[in-house]
């Protein structure tokens, strides 16, 4: 509908007032009721996040004023009530999903308290790994992208901490394995989410996973070009991982379907890597080479913008033919 209205406006069939009216009648722009529903949902989810943070800060502030039993009972009760609220309101309802957001945060606080207080001997990465695994049933029940994004972020922290233990610090001399692994993990999540598109509309999850996969892949390529990471421990695979993620993104979001947001992120990553590669090659030349780099960045950025605008025009034409 939006594409058809834009085509009519471009053809001169609609003036400014007619365009606005058509957008309103076509349901393209949300009316007052839809805006109110969105604001209510956003406030509900924001309230769940703030309540989770408040619970954690309350325990931390009163750490010495409460016994271990009181603290663990409070955290466990909060988690149980939030999970029970999700069942009562239905996990697929907005209120139930907000309860599951609070349940995920309460679970993390409970695991952290148990590990800190009773010294289970588990490494920090195991805490986040257990948090992610135990949160999976709630993410499946909610079938909602924000909850899945929370779980993905928890997995990222677990992977980062684990590789940090293996390599003497997550962002130390051997930081290349961290970004290469995260790039592959996010690419796998994006592919899985795209495979489930027919079952649910989760555009936030595949886009978030794809864009962050490209970001991590770009960092891996930059670390390879920098050459500061130790060879033989993932540094040599940085450029290969970037190429794999870029190719997978092109195949999914250009050949199979068109997602200009992900393609824009891929173009930004490619421009960044190409500019750094040329800068490394021109490192020993005169300062005039910086002008060449500036012109290169401007030219590549303009070409990418022109290409993305062309994709937008193609999408409008294809939608018009299908209609």
For 131-184, the pLDDT digits (tens) are 999 999 999 998 888 899 999 999 999 998 888 777 655 444 467 888 999 999
Within-domain flag for 209: yes
Q: Token pair 């956003």 is at which residue?
A: 42
The domain in which residue 103 lies consists of 45-143
Cα–Cα distance for residue pair 34/19, rounded to 1 Å: 20
Q: Is the pLDDT of residue 316 over 80?
A: no
**Cβ(222)–Cβ(273) below 8 Å:** yes
Q: How far is CA 101 from CA 95, 135, 229, in A?
A: 10, 10, 38
Residue 98 lies in a domain: yes
Q: 198 and 88 in one domain?
A: no
Are both 306 and 179 inside the same structural domain? yes
Find the mean pLDDT for residues 114-127: 80
Is 253 within the bounds of a domain?
A: yes
From 111, 127, 143, give the residue that closes a domain: 143
- 162 assigned to some structural domain: no
pLDDT score of 319 more than 50: no
Total tally of structural domains belonging to the chain: 2
Q: In the prediction, which pLDDT does 320 show? A: 45
Q: Are residues 128 and 185 in the same domain?
A: no
Task: For the chain, give the percent of residues with pLDDT over 90.
Answer: 39
Cβ of 204: how many Cβ atoms within 10 Å?
14
Q: Return the structure tokens found at 123.
A: 């490494």
Residues 189 and 322 in one domain: yes
Which residues have CB under 8 Å from 175's CB, separation 6+? 167, 169, 223, 229
Verify that 127 and 173 share a domain, yes or no.
Answer: no
The answer to whether residue 29 sits within a structural domain is: no
Element (H, E) at 34: helix 32-61
Q: For residues 250 and 227, what is the distance between their CA atoms, to the nearest angstrom?
A: 27
pLDDT, average across residues 188-210: 78
Spatial contact of 158 and 129, defined as CB atoms under 8 Å apart: yes
Q: Is the pLDDT of residue 255 over 50?
A: yes
DSSP annotation of 230:
P
Please state, in angstroms and rounded to a whole number, the distance separating the CA atoms of residues 195 and 105: 28
Cβ(225)–Cβ(276) below 8 Å: yes
pLDDT surpassing 60 at residue 14: yes
In a shared domain, residues 53 and 194: no
Together in a domain, 317 and 174:
yes
Query: What does the pLDDT average to over 245-269?
Result: 91
C-alpha closest to that of 210 among 257, 273, 142: 257
* Rounded-to-integer distance, Cα 26 and Cα 2, Å: 8
Question: Within this chain, do residues 189 and 133 fall inside the same structural domain, yes or no?
Answer: no
Torsion of CA 96, 100, 101, 105, to 10 degrees: 150
**What's the mean per-residue pLDDT of the chain?**
83
CB 246 within 8 A of CB 252: no
Q: Are residues 92 and 182 in the same domain?
A: no
Q: Indicate whether 254 and 174 sit together in one domain.
A: yes
């Amino acid at each position: 509908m939006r594409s058809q209205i834009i085509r009519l406006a471009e053809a001169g069939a609609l003036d400014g007032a007619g365009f606005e009216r058509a957008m309103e009648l076509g349901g393209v722009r949300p009316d007052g009721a839809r805006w109110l529903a969105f604001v209510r949902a956003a406030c509900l989810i924001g309230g769940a996040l703030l309540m989770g943070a408040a619970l954690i800060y309350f325990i931390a502030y009163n750490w010495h004023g409460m016994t271990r039993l009181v603290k663990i009972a409070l955290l466990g009760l909060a988690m149980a009530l939030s999970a029970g609220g999700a069942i009562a309101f239905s996990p697929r309802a907005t209120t139930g999903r907000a309860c599951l957001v609070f349940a995920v945060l309460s679970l993390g606080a409970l695991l952290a308290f148990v590990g800190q207080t009773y010294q289970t001997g588990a490494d920090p990465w195991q805490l986040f790994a257990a948090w992610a695994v135990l949160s999976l049933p709630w993410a499946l029940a909610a079938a909602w992208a924000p909850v899945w994004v929370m779980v993905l972020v928890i997995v990222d922290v677990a992977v980062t901490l684990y590789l940090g233990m293996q390599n003497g610090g997550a962002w130390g001399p051997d930081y290349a394995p961290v970004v290469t692994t995260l790039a592959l993990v996010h690419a796998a999540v994006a592919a899985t989410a795209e495979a489930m598109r027919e079952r649910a509309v989760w555009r936030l999850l595949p886009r978030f996973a794809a864009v962050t996969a490209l970001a991590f892949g770009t960092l891996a390529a930059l670390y390879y070009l920098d050459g500061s990471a130790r060879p033989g421990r993932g540094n040599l695979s940085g450029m290969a991982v970037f190429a794999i993620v870029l190719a997978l993104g092109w195949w999914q979001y250009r050949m199979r379907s068109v997602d200009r947001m992900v393609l824009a992120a891929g173009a930004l990553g490619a421009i960044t890597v190409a500019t750094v590669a040329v800068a490394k090659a021109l490192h020993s030349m005169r300062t005039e080479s910086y002008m060449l780099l500036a012109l290169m960045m401007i030219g590549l950025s303009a070409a990418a913008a022109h290409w993305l605008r062309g994709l937008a025009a193609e999408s409008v034409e294809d939608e018009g033919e299908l209609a």
